[in-house]
Amino acid sequence: MKKTPVRVPWKNFCAVILSAVILFAFNYSAGAAPSPVEVAVTGIEGEKLDNVRAALDLPSGIVRNGDVNMPWLERFEKQVPEKVKRALEPFGHYDVRTKTRIEKTTDGYVVIVDVSPGRPTLVADVSLAIEGPGAKENRMNRAVDSFPLKKGDVFDHTAYEAGKTQLREAALARGYLDADFSVSRVEVSLRDYSARIELLLDTGPFYAFGDWKILGGEAYSDTFLRRHVAFRKGEPFSYNRIYRTQLNFINSERFREAVVEPDKETAENFMVPITIRLEPSLPKRLRFGIGYGTDTGPRASAHYRDLNISGEGRELSADLVVSERLQAFVADFRLPGRRIESFTGFQFRLQNEDISSYTSRFASLEANRTWDFGRGRLGTAYLRLQREDSEVGEQDVSATLVLPGVRYSRQRYDNLIRPRRGYNYALELRGTDAFLGSDVGVAQVLANGRYLLPLPWNLMATFRAQGAASYEKDPLSDMPASLRFFTGGDNSVRGFSYNSLGPTDSTGTVVGGKNLIVGSVELEKAFPKNFSAAVFYDTGNAFNNLSDLELYRSVGIGVRYYTPVGAIRLDVAHPIDYPDSDYRIHFSLGFQL
C-alpha cells in the first residue's frame, strides 16, 4: 500500500522528546545530596566566573558528616578576596574588589561573594623579535604576525602564554630544537592600567633529520618499511613527524610496538640520527564472530587475513557473512603503493540479499587503485564487472554491468573509537553504457557525509546527510536492484525497516528510485563508563522526480556503549507521519562487513 504523509502526531513526538529529557536529567538527579555550604558569586560571568568558582572550591574539612565547621568556614571567607584576585589576574584585572558575607539558609549556609573586577589592563605595547638562523624563516614571521595580543587588547595571560607556545612550536616544527626566549617580560602598571610585552626568541641552530635505521622489521622489505617513515634525510627535524611515523607503523596492524628514537646528543653537523625499533605481530589471523543488526538479523562471520605475502606487505583477506537477510563472500588482494594509504586492489564478491523490497543475487570482480593525498584524503578509481539477477516487485531483471567509477573521500576525527569532533565525506561518480558491454546505460553521482560538533555539558551534535542522482538512458525497470536507491533502516531513516521506502509500482510495492536524499540530526549526551544517550530526528526518501518527492520523518531516543571495536547502538524510533505505527527498535553490535 502506498504511504501518504499525514498531520504530525504531536502526542507521540512529545512522548519521545519527554523520554529523552528524562534520560538526560537522570545524570543530574541521581547525584549526591546537596552540600550544606554553597558559594554564590555575583558581578562576573563567562570564563571569569568559571575560574573564580574553581578557585573557591570548598576545602573538604569545612563539612564533615553533614556538619559545618564554622571556624573553618569563617577562615575560608577571609581567604576569598585573595583567591578571587588571583583567579581574575589572568584576564587582565589587577584591581579587584570583593565583598563577602555568610548567610544562614534553611539547608545550611551560603557564602555570598560580590565581585567588582575593576578596570581591565590594556596592552600598551607589544615588542616581538626573533634572532638566530631562523629569523628570516617565513613561518616564523607568520607566527609573529599571528601573536594573539595586539596593542589596545585587554591583557589576557592565557592568550599571552598561548602566543609564546605558538612561537616556540613554530621554531620546533622548522627544526630549531634549541629555541628559547632570551627575553620574556611583561610590565604591568596599575597607575594607568597598562601592560607592555617584550619577547625575544633565539631560534638557535637548525637541526635536520640525519641517517635512520630500522631494527626488528626483517620480515618486510626495505621498500615496504620506508613507506611508513614520515620524514626524509635533510628535512627539518620535527617531533610531529616522529609521532606520525610511530602511528604509521602501529596503524598498519603489522607491528604490536613501534618506538622511534631521535638521538640529538650524537648529532653531527646538526643532523639528528633516528633509530626505529619494531616488534612485529603475527601476520596471519583468523577470527570468527557473531552479531545482530536490525537490517540483517542475526549473523555469523568468519574473517581471514594475511598481512605479509612474500615479504612485501601484500595483503590477502577473505570475509564470509551469513545472516537472515544477507549472505556474502568477499576476497580482497592488495598491493601496497608508495604512500602509507595507497594501494592497488583486486576484489571478488558473491552476494545474496533477500528483503521485503527486493531480492538480489550478484557476482562481481573489481580492480581498483587508491591514492593517498595525505591528511585523511583518499582518491580511488575502479572498474567493476558484475552479473546480477534481481526481483523487484513484479520486475525480474538480469543484467551484466561493466561499471567504471571514481571516488574521493576525506576523514578527520579527534578519536576513532569515541570521536567527539570531526567529519567525513565521500563523493562518487559511476556509470556504464552499452558501448562498454553493459546491458543498461546510466550515470550516477553519490555523496554522503557526517559532521560531529562538541557542545557544553558533555553534549555532542551529529549531522548526517546522504544524496544521489541518476541520469538513465534506459527505463528504471531495466535497472538491477544495486543501481536503484532505497531508504529506511539503521543508517538511514530510522523508524522504518531496511530499504522499505521509495517509489512504488501499481501494486504499492516499493521498487526503488533514481534519486535519493537523507538527513539526520542527533544530540548525544555522554555519561561515565563509555555510555551515552541520544535523541534524534531523521528524514529522507528515494524518488524519481522532485515533483513526486515525499519526505518520511521519524524521531527517537537511543543508548550507545563504546568499546575498542566500535559502538553498540540501541535506538527506538517512531515515524512522525504514521500515528498508528509501532515503535521500531534498531540494534547493532559486532563486526560488520
Output the pLDDT for position 548.
87
Over 50: is that where the pLDDT of 26 sits?
no
Average pLDDT over residues 454-460: 91
Over 90: is that where the pLDDT of 356 sits?
no
CB 118 within 8 A of CB 88: no
Over 90: is that where the pLDDT of 389 sits?
yes
Q: Indicate the pLDDT class of residue 20, thresholds 50, 70 and 90.
A: very low
Q: How far is CA 368 from CA 381, 408, 428, in A?
A: 6, 13, 14
Average pLDDT over residues 161-187: 91
CB 496 within 8 A of CB 5: no
β-strand 194-202 against 122-131: which pairing, if any?
Answer: parallel
What pLDDT digit, counting tens, does each position of 51-66 carry?
A: 999 999 888 778 877 7
**From CA 581, how far away is CA 9, in angstroms rounded?**
11
Output the pLDDT for position 589.
67
Average pLDDT over residues 435-440: 93
Residues 6+ apart with CB under 8 A from 588: 291, 292, 293, 294, 295, 490, 568, 569
Closest C-alpha to 308, from 344, 257, 254:
254
Place of cell 633565539: 202
Q: Indicate the pLDDT class of residue 33, thresholds 50, 70 and 90.
A: low
583 by Cβ neighbours in 10 Å (0-12 / 13-18 / 19+) ranks as: middle
What pLDDT digit, counting tens, does each position of 63-118 carry?
A: 877 788 888 888 888 999 999 999 998 888 988 999 999 988 888 889 999 999 98
Which grid cell sits at 279?
616488534
Output the pLDDT for position 5.
39
Closest C-alpha to 233, from 217, 212, 260:
212
Q: Indicate the pLDDT class of residue 383, thresholds 50, 70 and 90.
A: very high
Q: How far is CA 248 from CA 209, 226, 238, 419, in A?
A: 18, 11, 16, 20
Q: Indicate the pLDDT class of residue 572, thresholds 50, 70 and 90.
A: very high
What pLDDT digit, counting tens, does each position of 112-147 carry?
A: 999 999 889 999 999 999 999 988 888 888 888 899
Which grid cell sits at 528?
561515565
Output the pLDDT for position 542.
95
Percent of the chain clearing pLDDT 90 (strictly above):
60
The H-assigned helical ranges of 174-255 are 222-226, 239-251
**From CA 110, how far away is CA 68, in angstroms rounded?**
11
Output the pLDDT for position 60.
77
* DSSP-assigned states of every residue in 409-474: EEEEES-SSS-SSEEEEEEEEEEE-GGGT-SS-EEEEEEEEEEEEEETTTEEEEEEEEEEEEEESS
**Mean pLDDT over each residue of the chain, to the nearest integer:** 88
Write the DSSP symbol of residue 265: G
Write the DSSP symbol of residue 357: S
**From CA 313, how far away is CA 224, in angstroms rounded?**
6
Its pTM surpasses 0.75:
no
**From CA 280, how far away is CA 278, in angstroms rounded?**
6
Task: Specify the range with the lowest mean pLDDT, choosing from 384-388, 504-508, 569-573, 586-590.
Answer: 586-590
Q: How far is CA 181 from CA 129, 143, 171, 239, in A?
A: 10, 14, 11, 20
What pLDDT digit, counting tens, does each position of 270-312 carry?
A: 999 999 999 999 999 999 988 777 777 788 999 999 999 888 8
**From CA 575, how far away is CA 168, in angstroms rounded?**
55
Over 60: is that where the pLDDT of 11 sits?
no
Output the pLDDT for position 34.
63
Average pLDDT over residues 538-543: 96
Closest C-alpha to 125, from 169, 189, 181:
189
248: left (phi over 0), alpha (psi -120 to 50) or beta: alpha
**From CA 328, how far away is CA 499, in angstroms rounded?**
18
Over 80: is that where the pLDDT of 16 sits?
no
Write the DSSP symbol of residue 135: G
Task: Specify the range with the lowest mean pLDDT, choosing from 9-23, 164-178, 227-241, 413-427.
Answer: 9-23
CB 92 within 8 A of CB 120: yes
Average pLDDT over residues 10-25: 43
542 by Cβ neighbours in 10 Å (0-12 / 13-18 / 19+) ranks as: buried
Average pLDDT over residues 509-534: 92
Average pLDDT over residues 205-230: 92
CB 427 within 8 A of CB 447: yes
**From CA 151, how far away is CA 146, in angstroms rounded?**
13
CB-based burial, 362-380: b 16+ in 10 Å, e otherwise: bebebebebbbeeeeebeb
CB 542 within 8 A of CB 3: no
Angle between helices 46-55 and 70-88 (to 10 degrees): 140
